[in-house]
Amino acid sequence: MNKGKGPALLEVRDLKKHFLPRKRFLQEQAPPVRAVDGISFTLQAGETLGLVGESGCGKSTAARTLLRLIEPTSGQISFCGKNLTDIPETEMRALRREMQIIFQDPYSSVNPARRIGRILQEPFEIHGFQNKKEKTEKAAQLLERVGLPPEHFNRYPHELSGGQLQRVGIARAIALNPKLVVADEPVSALDVSIQAQIINLLSDLKEQLDISYLFISHDMGVVEYFCDRVAVMYFGKIVELANSEQIYNSPQHPYTTALLNAIPNLESGRIKQEAPIKGDIPDPGNPPQGCAFQSRCPLKEKQCAEEIPALKEIAPGHYAACFLKQ
């Protein structure tokens, strides 16, 4: 699997995505919303990296930015050694054969007027496949690979359940044998029993096709089961990054600990935070001074309100952005 060895499949350095609010008549321009504010990480071939955090922390924006579905404000994104921020759209389009995405809502991600078979033929058409028979055969094979019966080929999206339609989304994502799949909350809209089936399917496909995943979720239980490493994101920044075992057995950032405490029926032996966090994520248009988490942190000190902590390695392979650990 080449985990942690050799050049990274994906390397992100100081990636930022700021949105400028619409200026209202006779009003001054509001400051930019820093949805993603300087994140850095690597993803090795065959690895699954979890990107976790509360809703609104910037996870999905980060995913869409690194795929250049939306353009970054600044930073560098390298995929297979190519700097994606410097290449033209024509070259980027060709690279998208190797970089695919699974969306959170399976219903809104497909054309409701097209049959399932036609939806699964679209990736081949976009990337130059002309033979109609070949496209039909490949689409049928994709249905089988994701565990859907052949009769679904001629059905419409509204005739499928959410779990079945998410399998279609997964089939479409793996159609062109990508090296990287970004899974953006792929099970959060599904029933718990169906979530397990989809996660197992993604695990099987990872082994069969040697796929690397960037797995975005707010469900720490799912991430623990599925991911090799975990990056914890808060207010547009990564505040902790380590392998899954380190994150779940020895969290070093108060925010990570709070997320773990939110998991029902935590196993004994894990760190418990006696004073839980309160309040909501700050207003992105009006960020607090110092550490963004200090307004909610039960452990904050004077320095936390004055300076922004950098993400530093506090143990081999374990990074945290917290003055209490540096």
Domain boundaries, the chain: 10-22+29-98+179-281, 109-175
Q: What is the pLDDT of residue 3?
A: 45
| Nearest of 232, 235, 231 to residue 288 by alpha carbon | 235
Domain 10-22+29-98+179-281 homologous superfamily, CATH: P-loop containing nucleotide triphosphate hydrolases (3.40.50.300)
* Segment 278-296 mean pLDDT: 84
Measure the CA–CA gap between 195 and 163, rounded to whole angstroms: 8
Three state DSSP letters for 194-212:
HHHHHHHHHHHHHHHHCCE
- SS3 category, 192: helix
Q: What is the pLDDT of residue 2?
A: 39
User: How do residues 236-271 score in pLDDT, each as one tens digit?
Assistant: 999 999 999 999 999 999 999 999 988 775 454 554
Contact residues for 129 (Cβ-Cβ < 8 A; gap 6+): 135, 138
User: How do residues 75-129 score in pLDDT, each as one tens digit?
Assistant: 999 999 999 998 988 888 889 899 999 999 989 989 999 999 999 999 998 888 8
Most confident residue range from 22-31, 43-52, 102-111: 43-52
Q: What is the pLDDT of residue 278?
A: 74
Q: What is the pLDDT of residue 270?
A: 52
What confidence category does residue 4 fall into, taking pLDDT thresholds of 50, 70 and 90?
very low
Measure the CA–CA gap between 221 and 203, rounded to whole angstroms: 15
* Segment 177-200 mean pLDDT: 94
How far is CA 32 from each of CA 24, 73, 285, 286, 290, rounded to the nearest angstrom? 14, 11, 6, 9, 18
Measure the CA–CA gap between 158 and 162, rounded to whole angstroms: 9
What confidence category does residue 28 fall into, taking pLDDT thresholds of 50, 70 and 90?
confident
Helices 162-174 and 192-209, axial angle in degrees (round to 10): 20
Measure the CA–CA gap between 106 and 157, rounded to whole angstroms: 9
User: How do residues 153-181 score in pLDDT, each as one tens digit?
Assistant: 999 999 999 999 999 999 999 999 999 99
Q: What is the pLDDT of residue 210?
A: 95
Measure the CA–CA gap between 33 and 254, rounded to whole angstroms: 24
> What count of residues does the chain have?
326
Statement: residue 41 has pLDDT above 80: yes
Statement: residue 185 has pLDDT above 60: yes
The pTM of the full predicted model, rounded to 2 decimals, is 0.91
Statement: residue 280 has pLDDT above 80: no
| Nearest of 146, 150, 100 to residue 123 by alpha carbon | 100
As beta bridge partners, residue 304 has none
Which residue intervals of the chain are DSSP H helices?
Answer: 59-66, 89-95, 116-126, 132-145, 162-174, 192-209, 220-226, 244-249, 254-261
- Tokens found for residue 173: 């994502």
Q: Which helix (H) or strand (E) is 238 found in, with range? A: strand 237-243
Q: What is the pLDDT of residue 273?
A: 52
Four-residue CA torsion sign, 189, 193, 199, 202: negative
* Segment 52-61 mean pLDDT: 92
C-beta contacts of 291-294 below 8 A and 24+ residues apart: 291/321, 291/322, 291/323, 292/234, 292/235, 292/236, 292/237, 293/234, 293/235, 293/239, 293/253, 293/254, 293/255
